[in-house]
Amino acid sequence: MNNSKCLLERAKKMIPGGVNSPVRAFGPVGGTPRFIKSARGAYLYDEDENCYLDFVGSWGPMILGHSHQEVVKCVQDICQRGLSFGAATAAEVEMAELVCELVPSMEMVRMVNSGTEAVMSAIRVARGFTGRDKIIKFSGCYHGHSDGLLVQAGSGVMTAGVPDSLGVPVGCARDTLSANYNDLDSVKAHFARCPKEIAAVIVEPVAANMGVVPPEEGFLKGLRELCDTYGALLIFDEVITGFRLAIDGAQGYYGVTPDLTTFGKIIGGGMPVGAYGGKRQIMELVAPLGGVYQAGTLSGNPVAMAAGMAQLTILKEHPEYYRELNEKGDWFFGRIERLLRETGRPWQVNHVGSLGCLYFTKQDVKDYESAKTSDTELFAKYHNHMLEQGIYLAPSQFEAVFLSLAHTEEMLEKTLDAITIFLQKI
Ligand code: HOZ
């Protein structure tokens, strides 16, 4: 692992922590972050020629597996015609038509360049549409790093050692109300206190930034009803669940329709793409049509559209892939649970379809507080063991395991063997 170590030392001289996004620094698990040279299918290859079975999948986008040849070819083809025009393109029209066809709640959609940008924009539209300032988010949910959403956020914030973030103006955070995931009463309390001030409730329909926490029966439906009662908008942050749980995302999987939805990850096929959209009546407020301003030089970038269109088209043409993904997840995470029971370990496994998480706690994990009871030191030992076994997991207890269509039963059996060895070792 000399090349990764050398690259990290060089990187640290010019890049904060040597990385361009915190979690990949391996802070919570220690050791040297692997500098990845290439990837194909379910595998990563680092700069020291090590090969790893990848369960991060670039944090969700690589649902087809890395370097899917049809996606790569579409990107190569468009590159011959140019990389960025800063002007409208046919590809953006086709992408908008496809997204709105696949996700019924999407009557209009705007492309941006990241999940953070999608959420930031959706919140602004919700505030513009309702004329209200406050938003409700859930502790442990992560919606990107825009100021107002770095309040009891999940993902890297949970492990960064900072309560939320320096640099967020108090005034900005003041309009963000935190509720508890799977706890409708905590949401009702906010609405009761300020019934006419809340513009939106934003929720990860499956919380996948404090590990993986499924919505309990009635939770999402209850949010829908509360928003309808108080005139607030319901925003589903489907940056992770979108086009993963079903072709129409968690909203299709659970049968609850939001007013606005944010996307990222899979919609870009590995390229930097985000999107937000929903009811026409709301989205018509977005500039240049309406008074809610949002812009982006690289929004709808032709190379990114090519990758996203290619991936979404493959998923649209193969509805059987979702049955395969979800059955694969049920089998794999079910086998991990069986291993824990057989070895008398009290730990928890949460999963929804191809998203899952092994928590080193004996508590049932249903929200931020219970997720935080996990033994992160034991997780670090687990992560390092799996890395030695050639298995690449997200370097934090509070991230998800992402299965892809490229993961075969043989690969998953090898992973279960590695977990078995760990359980025998400790
Ligand atoms: N949003 C990603 C994890 N949920 C961040 C990954 C990173 O920091 O590299």
Quick: pLDDT tens for 309-359.
999 999 999 999 999 999 999 999 999 999 999 999 999 999 999 999 999
Neighbours of 426 (CB within 10 A): 10
For the cut 60, the answer to whether the pLDDT of residue 418 exceeds it is yes
The verdict on whether 142 is a catalytic residue reads yes
Whether the pLDDT of residue 117 is over 80: the answer is yes
Residue 56 Cα to ligand 1 middle (Å)? 10
- The three-state DSSP-derived secondary structure of 89-140 is CHHHHHHHHHHHHHCCCCCEEEEECCHHHHHHHHHHHHHHHHCCCEEEEECC
In this model, does residue 142 exceed pLDDT 70?
Answer: yes
Spatial distance between the Cα atoms of 420 and 358, rounded to a whole number of angstroms: 13
Rounded CA separation 336/342 (Å): 10
pLDDT digits (tens, 9 = 90+) for 11-40: 999 999 999 999 999 999 999 999 999 999
Indicate the pLDDT class of residue 94, thresholds 50, 70 and 90: very high
What mean pLDDT is predicted for residues 358-381?
98
Shortest-distance Cα residue to atom 5 of ligand 1: 23
Distance separating alpha carbons of residues 83 and 75, to the nearest angstrom: 10
Please confirm, yes or no, whether 188 is among the known catalytic residues: no
What's the pTM? Answer: 0.97
- 351: phi > 0 → left, psi -120 to 50 → alpha, else beta; which? beta
Say what the pLDDT of residue 159 is. Answer: 66
Average pLDDT over residues 51-78: 98
How do residues 173-218 score in pLDDT, each as one tens digit?
889 999 999 999 999 999 999 999 999 999 999 999 999 999 999 9
CA distances from 362 to 142, 159, 365, 372, 373 (A): 24, 20, 9, 12, 9
Confidence band, pLDDT 50/70/90 cuts, at residue 84? very high
394 CA to middle of ligand 1, Å?
9
Question: Among residues 52, 142, 230, 253, which one is catalytic?
Answer: 142
Confidence label for 163 from pLDDT (cuts 50, 70 and 90): low
Task: Round the average pLDDT of the chain to a whole number and report it.
Answer: 96
Radius of gyration for the chain, computed over Cα atoms and rounded to the nearest angstrom: 21
Per-residue model confidence (pLDDT) at position 314: 98
403 vs 95: CA distance, rounded Å = 25
